[in-house]
Amino acid sequence: MKISGVEYEIERICVDSLLERQGIVSRGVVVAVNGEIVRRSEWGTTWIEPTDEVESLTAAAGG
């Protein structure tokens, strides 16, 4: 599985469990799996396969 450009050996996992395992705080985070944004309400039911690419982006204040 590739997470933000880095390869990891992780089994099939749902989005919220992956974020928890990676230590990513979910507040202000957007997650995309294979280029598709996953709604926060679907994080617990969206499964990520070992061949998927995941991007997590954190909103930052400022200008």
Q: Where are the domains of the chain?
A: 2-58
Q: Are 53 and 2 in contact (CB under 8 A)?
A: yes
pLDDT band at residue 53 using 50, 70 and 90 as cut-offs: very high
| Topology of domain 2-58, CATH | Ubiquitin-like (UB roll) (3.10.20)
- 8-24 pLDDT, tens per residue? 888 999 999 999 998 88
Average pLDDT over every residue of 23-30: 86
Give the Å distances, CA to CA, from 58 to 9, 11, 31, 40, 43. Answer: 23, 24, 9, 13, 16
Does residue 63 carry a pLDDT above 70? no
pLDDT band at residue 57 using 50, 70 and 90 as cut-offs: confident
Task: For residues 17 and 43, give the distance between their C-alpha atoms in angstroms, rounded to a whole number.
Answer: 8
pTM of the model: 0.83
pLDDT on residue 58? 84
